[in-house]
């Protein structure tokens, strides 16, 4: 058998692996919850470390914790925040709904590290967890972790993607293509107009997420067990938020209502909803790319995405749109996570939500997935795709829907008849219109010029294009 040691807690003795930094309560959770193998995310562990370090500093400042002990706790907590001890956080996400097991995991690891430095015992509850409970620490950790992930990872990735789309749009401004509604040929537009809509989606998604941040930066810390602040110094919450704000360069503040911050996860649900909206936008862009790249012979074939890997184990030469496909799968996962977070958000009874670890895991996973997907979509799809201008021009020249531009001159019904004849006889629209209208070839070419049609307005006598 592997070497072990005996640890104890209020329920008695527990055998713990000799090399483990955790204690009895963590081990009980490891034994009790062998469910998924999924562990709490790196960002969440980072947030716990930052919270424990900040709490120790505030408690020392308030005269509640010995200075040397506080200093050792701070140092150990910052090691945890930096990721030096992630292997010491083995608890499954499917655990006690308050996240008490993960909170005690942090308390025990930090106590062990601090005690090793001081060469005296540091108590995980009485000293590391002083002025805190799982019921305010875990909600605060969710908010801290999500705030940092959004600010440091997701928003920069979205900003870069929007810039890449806009750069590509600018480069393609002179290329006019067939528009499509209902997947059917429609009036023309320019590539920069089509891609500009994508960039706008991403910028709007970022703005929606930014709008959640002021609420996400409100922290439950200081509410302790039920929101009354029991066992925390009256000044703890304000001092804690101010010190953590300085440490993270983020405007963290105490929640204006600690009962709300602990009993609900409404802000996490709100953020998840905005992440879902961004996922919907990315799905749309990914699918547009897939359609435009389809072929190369029997599909639209408007663009060629970068060839990144063989597309088939049996069909030589086949290359698939792997990045848009991966992005679409990410978005499906994020949308699924939003459903999970919504259900979990409903699971608050009276003073506490009891699905906090699940919310933490899925929320941070969604943020990370979207950030990675946005970067990949920009770097490996948007930046490098090429346009088949000859194919686009050929399709555009045969598009009978251009007859729409003649509505002001010949009327809708006459236009419909010309379009149907052009479809039926597979003839150029210009040729049929020349036969069926009294307009000269020069007049028709001017009215049906695809590039001019992308500017809008009424074409014909009295109109902008007349």
Q: Which residues participate in catalysis according to the annotation?
A: 182, 312
**Given the structure tokens 């000044």, which residue do they identify?**
235
Q: What angle do CA 93, 97, 99 make, to 5 degrees?
A: 65
Closest CA to 106 of 64, 131, 135, 137: 137
CB 132 within 8 Å of CB 232: yes
- The encoded tokens of residue 343 equal 């259900």
CB 123 within 8 Å of CB 8: no
Give the C-alpha separation, 135 to 222, whole Å: 10
Q: Any bridge partners for residue 184, and if so which? A: 181
178: helix, coil or strand? strand
Helices 356-377 and 155-171, axial angle in degrees (round to 10): 20
Give the C-alpha separation, 440 to 295, whole Å: 38
Closest CA to 407 of 446, 440, 436, 447: 447
- The encoded tokens of residue 47 equal 């947030």
264: helix, coil or strand? coil
- The encoded tokens of residue 447 equal 């009215």
Give the C-alpha separation, 455 to 452, whole Å: 6
- Cβ burial of 109 (10 Å; 0-12, 13-18, 19+) is buried
């Amino acid at each position: 058998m592997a070497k072990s040691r005996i640890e104890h807690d209020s329920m008695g003795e527990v055998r713990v692996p000799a090399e483990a930094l955790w204690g009895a309560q963590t081990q009980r959770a490891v034994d009790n919850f062998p469910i998924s193998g999924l562990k709490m995310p790196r960002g969440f562990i980072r947030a716990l470390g930052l919270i424990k370090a900040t709490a120790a500093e505030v408690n020392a400042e308030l005269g509640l914790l010995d200075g040397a002990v506080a200093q050792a706790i701070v140092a150990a907590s910052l090691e945890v925040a930096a990721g030096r001890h992630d292997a010491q956080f083995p608890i499954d996400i499917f655990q006690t709904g308050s996240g008490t097991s993960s909170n005690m995991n942090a308390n025990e690891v930090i106590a062990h590290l601090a005690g090793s430095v001081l060469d005296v015992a540091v108590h995980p509850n009485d000293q590391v967890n002083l002025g805190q409970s799982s019921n305010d620490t875990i909600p605060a950790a969710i908010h801290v972790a999500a705030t940092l992930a959004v600010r440091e990872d997701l928003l920069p990735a979205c900003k870069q993607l929007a810039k890449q789309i806009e750069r590509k749009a600018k480069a393609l401004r002179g290329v006019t293509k067939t528009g499509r509604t209902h997947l059917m040929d429609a009036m023309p537009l320019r590539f920069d107009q089509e891609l500009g809509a994508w960039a706008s989606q991403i910028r709007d998604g970022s703005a929606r997420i930014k709008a959640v941040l002021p609420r996400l930066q409100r922290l439950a810390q200081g509410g302790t067990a039920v929101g009354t602040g029991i066992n925390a110094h009256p000044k703890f919450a304000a001092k804690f938020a101010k010190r953590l704000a300085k440490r993270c360069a983020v405007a963290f503040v105490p929640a204006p209502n600690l009962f709300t911050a602990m009993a609900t996860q409404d802000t996490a649900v709100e953020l998840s909803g905005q992440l879902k909206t961004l996922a919907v936008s990315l799905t749309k862009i990914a699918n547009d790319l897939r359609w435009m790249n389809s072929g190369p012979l029997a599909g639209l074939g408007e663009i060629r995405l970068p060839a990144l890997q063989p597309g088939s184990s049996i069909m030589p030469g086949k290359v698939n749109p792997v990045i848009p496909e991966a992005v679409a799968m990410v978005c499906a996962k994020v949308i699924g996570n939003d459903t999970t977070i919504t259900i979990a958000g409903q699971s608050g009874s009276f003073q506490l939500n009891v699905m906090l670890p699940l919310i933490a895991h899925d929320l941070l996973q969604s943020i990370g997935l979207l950030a990675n997907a946005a970067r990949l979509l920009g770097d490996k799809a948007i930046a490098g795709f090429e346009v088949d201008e000859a194919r686009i021009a050929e399709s555009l020249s045969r598009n009978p829907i251009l007859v729409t531009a003649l509505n002001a001159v010949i009327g809708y019904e006459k236009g419909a008849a010309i379009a149907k004849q052009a479809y039926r006889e597979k003839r150029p629209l210009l040729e049929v219109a020349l036969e069926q209208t009294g307009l000269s070839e020069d007049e028709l070419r001017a009215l049906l010029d695809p590039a001019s049609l992308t500017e809008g307005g009424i074409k014909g006598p009295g109109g902008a294009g007349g």
